[in-house]
Copies of this chain bind each other. A is one copy, B any other.
Amino acid sequence: MQSFRLALAQVNPIVGDLKGNARLVRRYLRKAKKAGADLVAFPELVLTGYPPEDLLLKPSFTDLNLKALEQIVPETKGITAIVGFVDKQDDIYDAAAVLHNGKWLGTYHKHYLPNYGVFDEFRYFQKGDRVLVCNRSGIRVGLSICEDIWQPTGPLSRQTVHGDVDLAINISASPFSRGKRREREQMLSTRARDHTVAMAYVNLVGGQDELIFDGNSLVLDERGKVLAKGKAFCEDLVVADLNVRNVFRARLLDTRRRLEKRTSAGREHGIDEIKLPSIPKGKEKRPPLAERAQQDMSEIEEIFHALVLGVRDYFQKNGFEKALVGLSGGIDSSLTAALATEALGSGNVHGVFMPSRFSSKQSLKDAETLAKNLEISFQVLPIDPVYATYLKTLKPVFRNLKADVTEENLQARIRGNLLMALSNKFGWLVLTTGNKSETSVGYCTLYGDTAGGLAVLKDVPKVAVYALSRYLNEIRRAERIPESVLDKEPTAELRPNQRDSDSLPPYEKLDPVLHAYVEEDLSLEEIVQLGYPRKQVREILRMVDRNEYKRRQGPPGLKITPKAFGRDRRLPITNRFNS
């Protein structure tokens, strides 16, 4: 056997749904067999979903994941399957099982446990240190899990130099952020070339709270050339034929690592080798491989699909069908409603416009037009009567104190209450509409416009909100977000003639400073040196710092940048540091 048919099952499991995830694995096992694959690989922790977080502290959770794995074993008759699960030995491990022709023949334990950014794996797992090589009819396959492959000196090096591996499979759960796909592809290509080895990378797909896994699985040859790509942001079975004979040939040409190589010393390097018994072939010919589109998405296209998937999965996985969005006639709520419509269908999105004495006629018109464009339901609930009653109730306490931000917040909170009342009564999930720029500086009302289950744009800077809106109008070849919404000046409409620019620098100036501070952790001095005015920078940084308490109580938001608010950025509320 020289051509090896490999399948990557890029699937979308649900955290904690051990039975459902096992069913999903069995379904893709059948698909892979039907496609004539010799081996099929599933993503990291596919049985538990990723990240399972503190579910891993419940021994019953790990036990049930093992039971689920055991039920899969007999279903691997006729194929080899690599399945991500939690192994329990002396401790628990992030692991890959080698299931072969109905038997569980080996297990690999992840070596490198990421504990930065959104990852907390040292909290849960013991690390592995042995390398696993599977010999399948003379083809030597090495395994690794996610972070392992990001380490230039990780197990891949031992696999190829001392384990003589032809094909290196990495099973991953690698969340999306802007630019990540390209970085990943470059890295994998470099690894393949450095180690002269064919590579397969299978990634999870789907949304899990803040995280969105993008799929984009890859098969590369030993020269780093991409042979097949998984789809972005949806499930896929990637099938590719590898000519593994080329690996040996290429190593005769590129001898960079020859002097390090001592195959005889494999065991000394902690390498376990298992021989997979050969599987008698049936008579049918393998089905031909389907053509695969290889077009990569642009950055804005990726963000768009990431958000749509993130919304859809948050609803489906949490048992919600319908979304409710408070429409203000502004760009953020318009884009949020449009994304919800893409994710859930227009019949499942409800828009409510909640005017006050400060709302302009144009706002109503824009909200109405948007709802019409999106074909979503539209309702108007005026807040003035409730607002007036609040003021009357508070009068004995407020007496003749001047109106200030209190009254503005009150309006936002009435809207929050109305949305939550609809949510409670009809079971709709409220989507909040704040973007990353506002969330950064706290330009929002806690329990007001931050009230809801999911903050769709929480990680989308204002400038990108415009770009996404234009992109959406373009791909739908229609005006979904009205032009007048794209054109007008941002305003919260909480007092007469209010504009965002009364309180904030223009977003084109604000966003780069926020990027430098929030995403790059630059200091005041360093940002000033980039050419921004000191006074403005100081004020922006102060706003970011003192609004940590608001972010702490906000709903989870979908991560699309390298550093999102939430599990990615963990700052104390009580914090006197400034600079």
Which residue numbers of A lie inside 8 Å of B, CB to CB? 14-18, 20, 51-55, 57-61, 64, 115-116, 120, 122-123, 207-209, 313-314, 317-318, 379, 381-383, 385-386, 388-390, 392-394, 396-398, 401, 404-406, 409-410, 413-414, 416-418, 420-422, 424-425, 446-447, 451, 453, 521, 523-526, 549, 552-556, 569-579
Contact = CB atoms under 8 A, between A and B. Distances in A.
Given A122-B115, A381-B394, A453-B549, A572 B421 contact: no
A553 B456 CA distance: 16
A446 B416 CA distance: 11
A382 B393 CA distance: 7
A127 B406 CA distance: 48
The 8 lowest CB-CB distance pairs between A and B, nearest first, are: A16-B577, A60-B523, A17-B576, A406-B424, A447-B447, A122-B122, A115-B122, A16-B576
A261 B447 CA distance: 63
A244 B346 CA distance: 79
A417 B425 contact: no
15 contacts: A15-B576, A54-B569, A59-B521, A59-B523, A64-B579, A120-B123, A122-B122, A123-B570, A208-B574, A386-B389, A386-B390, A390-B417, A394-B421, A405-B424, A406-B425
Contacts of A405: 424
A60 B525 contact: yes
Contact of A318 (B14, B406, B573): B573
A55 B577 contact: yes
Greatest chain B CB density within 10 A among A17, A53, A555, A572 is at A572
B572 A58 contact: no
A523 B59 CA distance: 8
Contacts of A453: 549
A552 B417 CA distance: 19
A20 B575 CA distance: 12
A498 to B, nearest CB: 17
Nearest to A554: B553
Nearest to A58: B521
A385 B379 contact: no
B420 A417 contact: no
Contacts of A116: 123
A333 to B, nearest CB: 19
A446 to B, nearest CB: 8
A417 B523 CA distance: 37
Nearest to A566: B552
Given A17-B576, A116-B123, A317-B574, 8 more contacts: A55-B571, A58-B523, A59-B523, A120-B120, A120-B123, A381-B397, A390-B421, A420-B446
A577 B422 contact: no
A521 to B, nearest CB: 5
